[in-house]
Homo-oligomer: A and B are copies of this chain.
Amino acid sequence: MRHGHITSVGMPRLASKPQAITASPIRRIAALLDEARRKSDIISFGGGAPSLPPPQEVVDFLVDFLKNNPQKSVAYGSTRGMIELRELIAQDLKKYWGVDYDPKDEIIIVNGGTEGIYLALSAILEPGDEVIVLDPTYLGYHEPVKLLGGRVRTVPVTVENGYQPRIEDVKKVISPLTKAFILLSPDNPTGRVVTEEFVRGLVDLAVEHDFWIVFDAVYKHISYGRPTPWVDSFKGARERTITINSFSKEASIPGFRLGYVTAPREVVEVMEKIKQYVSLAPDTPGQIAMIKFLESGIKDRYLQEVVIPTYRKRRDFMYKCIQEYLPEAKTSLPEGAFYFFVNIEEYLKAMGRDDEEFANRLLYRKSVVVIPGRYFGEMGKNHIRMTFVSEPEERIEEGIKRMSAYVSSYM
């Protein structure tokens, strides 16, 4: 009756599903980074946290607010979040994406994109339901689906195709059990922004086969060329789309755990019910800060003058360095998000190593952190993910030179 490997003598049983899910990729990345911190002169292409400070005006505003209204700053809020913030979010979504949402009924503030995904999946999944994701994809989709009793089906994407998914590949995995498709655009780990054509095809399939689209738009403002298509603006999409948004990347405030979800009012209602018992309410000080961020033009300036120029320069520079110093690597210039997903098969073959061994050895030998591609899915094998947000240009060059020196000795 006991699970020997997890339960101590005398302890009652634990639930089986959470034991079956894996925490390992995230833990292994954390372990890599912990290890990295102990070494000197580490160059990190690892963690994907925003590396810029939050907008100074927002910090100043929050500091003043805390000083002048300490009790109000840390009071309980409602489960859906402050209506003032939801109204500003509705205006912001209208301005950028041309779509109208009712701030009262179609927007709910959540404790980060992670809670957004969890609540959305909780609101729609029955045990046995299937959820389609791309492969490779973000680490955080497979396990919550499994926790909720669902099953993941994958659609492969490859560097040869610029990591763009193809509708014909989606069709192959649709079944009567298909309940949702999760679309992340711009994407982690590939930096891909999907095409209008793909979204059109996906929405048609969703209508035809009656499934939800969970549109994860947490990187929506981190793009360097054309913006991501907005799923809700496609005919037929609105009543079957749940869109996940985060302030973490746009405002560089991941520690506040603050995001929001738009969805049909019936879905928001169910998500709110679940959220009452999962986290009760979003963070109050973070909401106060984000009201300032949205209401005063700070967001536009911060994105256009600080975030995008900084990240774009580093992206272009990293691309040049990869091409120059790692000529056998294959990658695709990211149109958004923070990452290059790099196929290093040629080097791995010569070295007789897999991508995980490569990442471990590279850290040990050259003090450079990269993330093994296999952590993002079966198709991620023989790849590595490299973020360009953590290091300035000269360190990007130095890091890639070290990688080059390391692989050259085998070629």
Contacts and interface: CB of A to CB of B under 8 A. Distances in A.
A334 to B, nearest CB: 21
A73 interface: yes
Interface stretch (A63-71, A376-384, A399-407): A63-71
A111 interface: yes
Contacts of A47: 76
B54 A74 contact: yes
B257 A282 contact: yes
A306 interface: no
Interface stretch (A117-125, A221-229, A297-305, A308-316): A117-125
A124 B73 CA distance: 35
A6 B266 contact: yes
A333 interface: no
Given A76-B49, A256-B284, A18 B274 contact: yes
Given A74-B252, A125-B15, A253-B74, A279 B23 contact: no
B277 A147 contact: yes
A146 to B, nearest CB: 9
A249 to B, nearest CB: 11
B280 A283 contact: no
Contacts of A277: 21, 114, 117-118, 140, 143-144, 147
B70 A59 contact: yes
Nearest to A258: B283
A113 to B, nearest CB: 8
Interface residues of A, number: 89
A229 B74 CA distance: 30
Interface string A307-331: 0000000000000000000000000
A166 interface: no
Nearest to A179: B12
B281 A212 contact: no
Most buried by B among A21, A23, A52: A23
Interface in A250-281: 252-257, 264, 266-267, 269-270, 272-274, 276-281
A210 to B, nearest CB: 5
Given A10-B239, A16-B126, A147 B255 contact: no
Contact of A15 (B12, B115, B122): B122
B255 A76 contact: yes
Contacts of A6: 266, 269-270
A8 interface: yes
Contact of A276 (B23, B77, B78, B283): B23
Interface in A32-57: 47, 49, 52-54, 56
Contacts of A180: 12
B75 A255 contact: yes
A23 B272 contact: yes
A30 interface: yes
Given A74-B256, A255-B75, A239 B11 contact: yes
A70 B12 CA distance: 44
Contact of A211 (B9, B12, B71, B279): B12
A208 to B, nearest CB: 12
A93 interface: no
Contacts of A63: 63, 66-67
A122 B11 CA distance: 16
A278 B21 contact: no
A112 interface: yes
A374 interface: no
Nearest to A10: B239
A122 B49 contact: no
A11 B52 CA distance: 40
5 contacts: A10-B236, A10-B239, A12-B124, A16-B126, A75-B255
Given A63-B63, A140-B276, 6 more contacts: A6-B270, A8-B264, A19-B270, A111-B111, A114-B279, A255-B284
